[in-house]
Structures are given as structure tokens and as C-alpha cells.
Amino acid sequence: MNEAVIVCDRLGVTLGGMKVLDGLSMTVYKGDFLAVLGPNGGGKTTLLRVILGLEQPSSGTVTVFGARPGHAPGRIGYVPQRLFFDRDFPISVEEVVLMGRLPRRRLIQRYGRIDRDRAHEAIETVGLARLKHKRIGTLSGGELQRALIARALAGEPELLLLDEPTASVDPDMKTTVYDLLDRLKERHTIVLVTHDTGTVGHSVSRVACLNCTLDMHGPASSLGTASLERVYGHPVEVVLHEHERHDSKPDDLHA
Amino acid sequence: MPDFLHFEFMRNALVAALLSSIACGIIGSYVVVRRIGSISGGIAHTAFGGIGLGYYLGVNPLFGVIPFSLIAAIGIGLLTRKAKVAEDTAIGAFWATGMAVGVILIGLTPGYAPNLFSYLFGNILTVPVSDLRLILLLDILIGGLVWLFSKEFLAVSFDEEFARVSGLRTVLLDLLMLSLIALTVVIMVRVVGIVMVIALLTMPAAVARMFSRTLHGMMALAVLLSVLFNFAGLWLSWVFDVASGATVILVAAMVFLASGAATALAGRRRH
């Protein structure tokens, strides 16, 4: 059996009185490329934030690399959905990527040769070498996304967490981002969350559906698997279905 | 040597302008990129309580400003980050409380409070040498801490969440940065006074940002601009015989508005 990287056991998260996640159980194994699908507001980002230790579970447990979340910063590379940042911030692409080395350096310890080398390698990997001295605010959506992936890679993580990596990217650039992930999956365990079912592509090894409107209460989840296969055009494994909505929508789909 | 340099107070004023510009440009850059100008204004106004304390105890008011501005910085920081109080509420509470304490303490102090006006609106022409030493000391402290924590400060300024995920203690780093703002306020009270600190803290850095690609470059340019604004304001106030602190602010404001207008025009031409 492969090594378990993330284990969620009956995880529940309540934010501001709202149940965002409820009874979520899943295991991510080393070498997985897991796509977590679901509509906006379905709790996908919250799931990532819990894994990162930014939000606390209100019930159930999460372990990451066998410890509580937030205790292995150097082993995780995080690519946020859209960097909430000031486009006028005076910082170059290279400096942003170098920040990925933070977990590898102690407080007040300065970045060294090895940090710069790793940052440059990461910039090469995502194909931004030409733009490394540019101000981050001048990049296009696709370039910015690749810069954020480079920042995550610079820390030499084992696990990559990506939140909607193609949300603010032009359609033809989406392929570039997924081609990049396809190359990265050889060496990294990847979990990505997206509402964009059309772009997950062929590279993912497992698909989970969070708060989806398909009714998966039935004993076998063959319907879901079949329909997902229709969506993706290749066999997929349904590993998780989580339900919050018990309204009429699922039944409509059955009809 | 220009004639106004014959006076010792003028030479002291120029040294004060130089020294205060160092802290102002460095810390002002963080204030601008993190958009925490209003917190800085809150810290500065709370410091009025410290000036009142100085008068009441009969000591140099700057020694009262140091604890008051530090308490404001850490208090506002903790209230907003730990107690989840809205930031503008916390700022307003400290701002008014600090001023109230100052008013009461000055009222309790027997006799007239000399130079009160200069702490409110600055008077760089009356900076004694002992204050210059204090300003130099604070400059070294601020510069040294920024140098030590430059990678951490850059990370929390640019992307606080990523810094936290990377294992940084972001709340502590925030409190440290706010404390450095508090110490910068102490320095600037002498130059432009409590009421106008926020303007000189933000305008040189805001102009510098338009022409900078890195935070360090922005800091260096902001220091330079601050020196220029100070010298120009000082000279103009000498020529026209008007208040020095206010003149410095007006010079800074004119350059700030002009560069903002130039940027807006250039942007319009591009589109």
C-alpha cells in the first residue's frame, strides 16, 4: 500500500455558523493526482485551507504527512486561487518565486545561493525565465498562475495543493498549465480543486466530487462514475461524494 | 555656504531632516504597500497622550511618545488580529483615547505648556542636539531590524497567507512592523508633528512606488524624496517665513499630486 499523504476522517468545518464541509472522508496517497471537483461555494477552497492549517476543523480529523495540518510547511507547495495582491506592488517575478524558499530558511536567515538556484530552476520549469525580472503586476493571468506554481515548486515540496489553477487563465493557456501539471505529477503528489470540469484533462489519476448535485446516496455509485467518464472521456475513479444539499435537484437528474 | 546655513539651528534642522528621512522612507514604503496608512495615523494621534505625559512629568515629551505609540501599535494590532475588532473601530478608539489622555494631562500640568504647538504641527528649527541623538539611535534600531527581517517583512507584505502557510509567525511579525511604525512616529513628531506624520510617512513612498521595481529600490527612492521634500520645504519656509513642517507637507503634496496626475495622463494616452 502506498504511503498516505493526507487523511481526512469525517471532517466537518463550520465557518461563521455555516456548515461548509460535513462528514468528509478521503485519503490521498503518495503519487496521486487528485482533482476535487465541485461548484463554487462547495467547500473546495475550505478543504485546502484545512489541509494547510489555515482553518480548523469543527469535527473529525485531518492529518497531513502523519501530523496535524500546519506542521510540515516545507513539504507542501501551495498555489492559491488568485493572488489577492496589489498589481502595483514593487516586486519581481524572481523575488516572488524566491518566497517559496521561506520554509527552508530560519527566521532572519538570508536567502543563499541554493535558494536562488532552486528559484531559477522553478522559473525554468514553468517557462518564465524570460520574464523573471518583470514586475509581478505586469504578468498576464496565465503567466501569473505559472509564477505562483514556480513559487510553490521552489520550496521542493512533495505535495502540491492548487486552488482553481485555471480560473483566471485564457482558454489556450489552460492547456499550458495542465501540460505543466502533467509533467509535475511524475515527482509530486498533486491535489487540485476546480469547478471547471472541462479542463481537468487526462492527467488526473483520481477525481473526487465535493458538494456535487449528482445523487450518490445509492448503494453503488456506478451512475456517477459513468457520467464522469462521459465528461472526461476516460475511466475515472470516484473516491468521494459529499452531500449538503438534500433538495430536489439530485432527483431531477435521476429523472 | 548659503546664508541660512550660518545658523546652528538651521544645520541641526538639516541633520534632523536627513535622519528622519531614513526611517520615514523605509517604514513609509511598508505603510504604502501594505495600505496601513490609517493605522499609522492612529498610532501617531494616540501618541499625543505621551506628549501630555511628558509635560505632566516634566520630562522630554518624546520619552512619553515612545511608550504611547508602542502601546497603540501593539494594542491596535492585537485587537484587530486576535480579538477580531474591526480595524477602523480599533484605530478610532486608540486615536481618541490617546488624545483625551493628552488633553487631561496637559490640563493637569500647572502653568502654560510651552511648545505644545510644535509637537502637534512640528518645528524642525527647534530640534535640540539631544533629540538628534535619540533620532539617530532610533534610525539605527529601525534600519537594523528591517535589515534582519527583510525577507519576512517582504513576505507578509506581499502575501500574508502564503507567509503563514510557509511557517512564519505572521501576527508577531505584524506587531513588530507596527512597533517600527510607532518608533518612526516618534522620530517624525519633531519634524512635522503628530497631525501631519501620516502625510510625510506616505507621500514620498507613494511617489517612489511609481518608479520602483523592487521594494528596496522603493525604500531608497522614498528616503531620497523625503530628504528633498524636507530640504525644499525648509528653504521655502525660510524664504517666506512660514511654518516649516506645514511647508514640507505642502511640497510633498504638490509632487505627489503632480506625479499622480502625470501617471493618470500617461495611462490615458496608452489606452
Residue B250: give its domain's CATH number: 1.10.3470.10
Q: Is A30 left (phi over 0), alpha (psi -120 to 50) or beta?
A: beta
Going by the DSSP 8-state scheme, the letter that residue B148 receives in this structure is H
- Number of C-beta neighbours around residue B206 at 10 A: 24
Q: Which own/partner pairs from A73-76 qualify as long-range (CB within 8 Å, at least 24 positions apart)?
A: A73/A102, A73/A103, A73/B165, A73/B166, A73/B167, A74/A103, A74/A104, A74/A155, A74/A156, A74/A157, A74/B167, A75/A157, A75/A158, A75/A159, A76/A51, A76/A52, A76/A157, A76/A158, A76/A159, A76/A160, A76/A161, A76/B165
For residues A152-156, average pLDDT: 95
Q: Out of A88, A90, A100, name the one closest to residue B217 (CB).
A: A90
Give yes or no for residue B6 having a pLDDT over 90: no
For residue A198, what pLDDT is reported?
Answer: 66
For residues B237-243, average pLDDT: 93
For residue A223, what pLDDT is reported?
Answer: 34
Q: B62: pLDDT confidence band, cut at 50, 70 and 90? A: very high
For residue A201, what pLDDT is reported?
Answer: 61
Q: What is the pTM of this model?
A: 0.88
Give yes or no for residue A232 having a pLDDT over 60: no
Task: Give yes or no for B88 touching A (CB within 8 A).
Answer: no
Q: Contact B222/B204 with Cβ under 8 angstroms?
A: yes
A18-22, A111-115, B209-213, B243-247: segment of lowest average pLDDT: A18-22
Q: A249: pLDDT confidence band, cut at 50, 70 and 90? A: very low
Task: Give yes or no for A80 touching B (CB within 8 A).
Answer: yes
Which residues pair with residue A13 across a beta bridge?
A21
Strands A59-64, A76-79: pairing kind: unpaired
For residues B45-52, average pLDDT: 96
Kindly identify which residue of chain B lies nearest to residue A50, measuring between CA atoms.
B165
Residues 156-175 of B with CB under 8 A from A: 157-159, 161-168
Task: Give yes or no for A88 touching B (CB within 8 A).
Answer: yes
Q: Which domain holds residue B22?
A: 3-270
For residue A253, what pLDDT is reported?
Answer: 33
Give yes or no for residue A176 having a pLDDT over 50: yes
Contacts of B151 in chain A (CB under 8 A): 102, 105, 108, 110-111
Contacts of B159 in chain A (CB under 8 A): 80, 83-85, 99
Q: Out of B161, B167, B218, name the one closest to residue A54 (CB).
A: B161
For residue B114, what pLDDT is reported?
Answer: 79
Task: Give yes or no for A96 touching B (CB within 8 A).
Answer: yes
Give yes or no for residue B120 having a pLDDT over 60: yes
Q: A165: pLDDT confidence band, cut at 50, 70 and 90? A: confident
Which residues pair with residue A207 across a beta bridge?
A35, A238
Mapping DSSP to helix (H, G, I), strand (E, B) and coil, where does residue A36 land?
A: strand
Q: Out of B35, B158, B162, name the one closest to residue A80 (CB).
A: B162
Interatomic CA distance for residues A103 and B59, integer angstroms:
46
For residues B71-85, average pLDDT: 94
What Rg value do the Cα atoms of chain B yield, rounded?
Answer: 19
* Summary mean pLDDT of chain A: 79
Contacts of B212 in chain A (CB under 8 A): 90
For residue A246, what pLDDT is reported?
Answer: 40
Q: A37: pLDDT confidence band, cut at 50, 70 and 90? A: confident
A113-117, A123-127, A139-143, B149-153: segment of lowest average pLDDT: A139-143
For residue A199, what pLDDT is reported?
Answer: 60
Mapping DSSP to helix (H, G, I), strand (E, B) and coil, where does residue A125 land?
A: helix
**Grid cell in block for residue B230:** 524636507
Q: Contact A180/A153 with Cβ under 8 angstroms?
A: no
Interatomic CA distance for residues B42 and B105, integer angstroms:
19
Interatomic CA distance for residues A7 and A66, integer angstroms:
8
Interatomic CA distance for residues A83 and A17, integer angstroms:
26
Q: A219: pLDDT confidence band, cut at 50, 70 and 90? A: very low
The separation between the first and the last C-alpha atoms of chain A, rounded to the nearest angstrom, is: 40
Residues 214-243 of B with CB under 8 A from A: 214-215, 217-218
**Grid cell in block for residue A37:** 471537483
Give yes or no for residue A255 having a pLDDT over 80: no
Interface touch B162/A54, C-beta < 8 Å = no
Interface touch A89/B158, C-beta < 8 Å = yes
Per residue in B133-167, pLDDT tens? 999 999 999 999 999 999 999 999 999 999 999 99
Give yes or no for residue A244 having a pLDDT over 90: no
Kindly identify which residue of chain B lies nearest to residue A52, measuring between CA atoms.
B165
A80-94, B6-20, B208-222: segment of lowest average pLDDT: A80-94
Strands (DSSP E) contained in B107-169 are: none
pLDDT above 70 coverage of chain B, percent: 98
Give yes or no for residue A230 having a pLDDT over 60: no
Q: Which residues contact B5 (CB under 8 A, 6 or more apart)?
A: B11, B14
Q: Contact A194/A173 with Cβ under 8 angstroms?
A: no
> What's phi and psi for A244, nearest 5 deg?
-120, -35
Q: A24: pLDDT confidence band, cut at 50, 70 and 90? A: confident
For residue A195, what pLDDT is reported?
Answer: 78
Q: A45: pLDDT confidence band, cut at 50, 70 and 90? A: confident
Give yes or no for residue A248 having a pLDDT over 70: no
Interatomic CA distance for residues B147 and B18, integer angstroms:
19
Per residue in A181-203, pLDDT tens? 888 988 999 998 887 776 666 67
Q: Compute the nearest-CA separation of A239 from chain B (Å).
A: 27
For residues A92-102, average pLDDT: 96
The separation between the first and the last C-alpha atoms of chain B, rounded to the nearest angstrom, is: 49
ipTM summary value: 0.89
For residue B270, what pLDDT is reported?
Answer: 57
Size of the A and B interface in Cβ pairs below 8 Å: 72
Mapping DSSP to helix (H, G, I), strand (E, B) and coil, where does residue B83 land?
A: coil
Task: Give yes or no for A104 touching B (CB within 8 A).
Answer: no
Give yes or no for residue A252 having a pLDDT over 50: no
Sign of the dihedral defined by the CA atoms of residues A44, A50, A51, A57, in that order: negative
Task: Give yes or no for A89 touching B (CB within 8 A).
Answer: yes
A16-25, A43-52, A97-106, B103-112: segment of lowest average pLDDT: A16-25
Contacts of A80 in chain B (CB under 8 A): 159, 161-162
Q: Compute the nearest-CA separation of B168 from chain A (Å).
A: 8
- Number of C-beta neighbours around residue A12 at 10 A: 15
Number of separate domains in chain B: 1
pLDDT above 70 coverage of chain A, percent: 78
